Amino acid sequence: MAALSATRFNPTIKVFYERLLANGKKKKAALTACMHKLLIILNVMVKHNSAWSCNPPIPYRVCIPAAKTVAAKTVA
């Protein structure tokens, strides 16, 4: 149930789940992958004695253009 809730309300897991569905995974397989990801995150939290931080996810394969490229396109 935690993974199901996380796919709806946790931004990191939600992006991961939607990416898996977009890549053709079945819903049950994507949910199982989210369960595994949550377990990995929790194990790392226990190992490093850290708290949960819900930072916004970094979009998958984001390409940020260099300043020179943007400036060259606006001038041309």
pLDDT, greater one: 50 or 2: 2
Q: Which pLDDT score is estimated for 63? A: 44
pTM higher than the cut 0.85: no
DSSP string, 18-63: HHHHHTT--HHHHHHHHHHHHHHHHHHHHHHT-----PPPPPTT--
Q: Which pLDDT score is estimated for 19? A: 93
Among 36, 46, 55, 56, smallest CA distance to 28 is for 36
Question: What is the Cα gyration radius of the chain?
Answer: 17
The tens digit of pLDDT for each residue in 14-71 reads 999 999 999 999 999 999 999 999 998 888 888 888 887 766 555 555 444 444 444 4
Domain range for 39: 2-75
Please count the structural domains in the chain: 1
